[in-house]
Amino acid sequence: MGVLMSRRQTVERVQKVSLAVSAFKDGLREQPSTRRRAEAGTARQGTLEQEVQEGEEEALAGPSQPEETSASKAAWERLRDGRGVEPEEFDRANRFTPPAFIRPKRELHDDEPPDISLEQREQILNDEMCEICEVWTAESLFPCRICHRVYHDGCLRRMGYLQKDSAVEVTEAAHTETGWSCYYCDNLNLLLTEEEMYSLMETLRNCKIIPGVCLNLDDFLHYKHQVHKQQFERTMPEAQEEQAALQFNALDPDKKGHIEWQDFLSHESIQLLQKIRPQNALLRLLTPKERERARAAFLALDQDNDGFIGEGECRQARHTWFRKHQKEMLSCNVSISHVGPISEGSPASSRNGKSPEKILPATKQEETSIDWPEFLRENVAYILAARPNSAALHLQPLA
């Protein structure tokens, strides 16, 4: 923590020096001067700018890192500020200014068990006005399947969050059971605090990961080996390497041979949250919509209504949480990846009049029983990992 705070203080000093440089430049423009004074001012200006550059390199890259290009530095800055990594050629003409994301802060009571009742249902209410323009137009608002925010498609386009190739997909998904995650919820990296983000950035830098670049299987395994060696000072076991390869496949559902940067960043963010924060702290990140979906999933699995489910059923819930397509959802015993009520093809629905497929009673008796609080703790990381719209599985459930 001390190292992280010292870096933040360094950044603040750099910002102050940068302001001094700007003020100095303005003074030179306003004051008529001789050639000698101009040369002296230029020399002084060069000294200040050199100090700013050295301070930025120390704060963002570290003294042992190789020199970075201006584009790479800008990418790291956007990543640190929670704005993601945008292409340099991205045209924002006639578009809204992107929001200034504020990273969360840990509270003293975060590690205490939250009170999430199984019997007491929560009322889900979406906002009535668009999050961006704050105007009410009920028929054209897109609700987020994770939080309470709603958006106009036009506002999303002007923000740059809705491109032409994805407009139809978002339009179709936003009002279905599959749902659509807004740009706040779609970015798992925004769940990290400033200290956690600095820790992740330091790990990525030490492993020579370049922001915005796709990773193939060799790059991904090499990164995992380096992280394991830095953390445990020994070579990663073969079993863990096989698990890492399975995670790569889960992040590459289309079998393109590489994983997108945003999917890799979301995977690393949820991995870091698992390592640093206790499960009780992660439970406090769940939204009312996510808690309601978890209730529906547990009640669907608890068919004898005794308040317990089997360990195998709990593992089943982890897998079905990531079902993001309707045809996949209907093929599962229970679906918990949608926005609204349980789908008609799931065991929790009685509207179609069909009896759900029953699980053998012996399975529940032979396995360890899990109650509602334990079910939440075991599944919270997977619930959070299912937030992004991407078809990739950012946290591969264990078999």
> What residue ranges define each of the domains in the chain, with the CATH number in brackets?
190-275 (1.10.238), 277-323+368-398 (no CATH)
Measured CA to CA, the distance from residue 120 to residue 295 in angstroms comes to 10
- The mean per-residue pLDDT over the stretch 210-225 comes to 94
Contact 339, 146 (CB under 8 A): no
Lowest mean pLDDT among 154-163, 208-217, 238-247: 154-163
- The mean per-residue pLDDT over the stretch 158-179 comes to 74
Question: Which amino acid type is present at position 153?
Answer: D
- pLDDT value at position 219? 95
Decide if pLDDT at 206 tops 60.
Answer: yes
Q: Let me know if 196 is exposed, middle or buried by CB neighbors in 10 A (0-12, 13-18, 19+).
A: buried
HSE-CB of 276 using CA atoms within 13 angstroms:
17
Q: Which of 223, 239, 220, 243 is nearest to 231 (CA)?
A: 223
Decide if pLDDT at 5 tops 50.
Answer: no
Decide if pLDDT at 105 tops 80.
Answer: yes
Q: In angstroms, what CA-CA distances link 135 with 32, 130, 245, 368?
A: 51, 6, 47, 51
Measured CA to CA, the distance from residue 302 to residue 255 in angstroms comes to 36
- pLDDT value at position 218? 96
- pLDDT value at position 179? 86
Q: How confident is the model at residue 183 (pLDDT cuts 50, 70, 90)?
A: confident
Q: Let me know if 24 is exposed, middle or buried by CB neighbors in 10 A (0-12, 13-18, 19+).
A: middle
**Contact partners, residue 321, CB within 8 Å, separation at least 6:** 297, 336, 337, 379, 382, 383, 386
Q: In angstroms, what CA-CA distances link 145 with 19, 126, 324?
A: 42, 10, 12
- pLDDT value at position 96? 57
- pLDDT value at position 144? 93
- pLDDT value at position 134? 85
Query: Helix, strand, coil % (nearest 5) of the chain?
Result: 50, 5, 45
- pLDDT value at position 164? 64
Q: Which residue has the tokens 């004051």?
A: 31
- pLDDT value at position 19? 52
- pLDDT value at position 280? 93
Measured CA to CA, the distance from residue 250 to residue 257 in angstroms comes to 12
Measured CA to CA, the distance from residue 152 to residue 96 in angstroms comes to 13
Measured CA to CA, the distance from residue 29 to residue 306 in angstroms comes to 79
Higher confidence at residue 364 or residue 145? 145
pLDDT more than 70, % of the chain: 63
- pLDDT value at position 214? 94
Q: Which of 186, 372, 337, 203 is nearest to 275 (CA)?
A: 203
- pLDDT value at position 84? 57
Q: How confident is the model at residue 367 (pLDDT cuts 50, 70, 90)?
A: low
- pLDDT value at position 356? 35
Q: Which of 93, 21, 96, 92 is nearest to 54 (CA)?
A: 21
Decide if pLDDT at 86 tops 90.
Answer: no
Q: How confident is the model at residue 324 (pLDDT cuts 50, 70, 90)?
A: low
Contact 216, 256 (CB under 8 A): no
Contact 248, 259 (CB under 8 A): yes
Question: Which amino acid type is present at position 333?
Answer: N
End-to-end CA distance of the chain: 36
- pLDDT value at position 239? 93
Decide if pLDDT at 50 tops 90.
Answer: no
Measured CA to CA, the distance from residue 106 to residue 194 in angstroms comes to 10
Decide if pLDDT at 399 tops 80.
Answer: no
- pLDDT value at position 138? 63
Decide if pLDDT at 278 tops 90.
Answer: yes
Q: How confident is the model at residue 398 (pLDDT cuts 50, 70, 90)?
A: confident
Decide if pLDDT at 261 tops 80.
Answer: yes
Decide if pLDDT at 269 tops 80.
Answer: yes
- The mean per-residue pLDDT over the stretch 164-169 comes to 67
- The mean per-residue pLDDT over the stretch 242-258 comes to 95
H/E stretch holding 169: helix 164-174
- pLDDT value at position 392? 92
Higher confidence at residue 359 or residue 58? 58
pTM for the full predicted model: 0.70
Question: Which of 15-19, 133-137, 140-144, 174-178 shows the highest mean pLDDT?
Answer: 140-144
- The mean per-residue pLDDT over the stretch 249-259 comes to 95
Lowest mean pLDDT among 93-102, 200-209, 313-322: 93-102
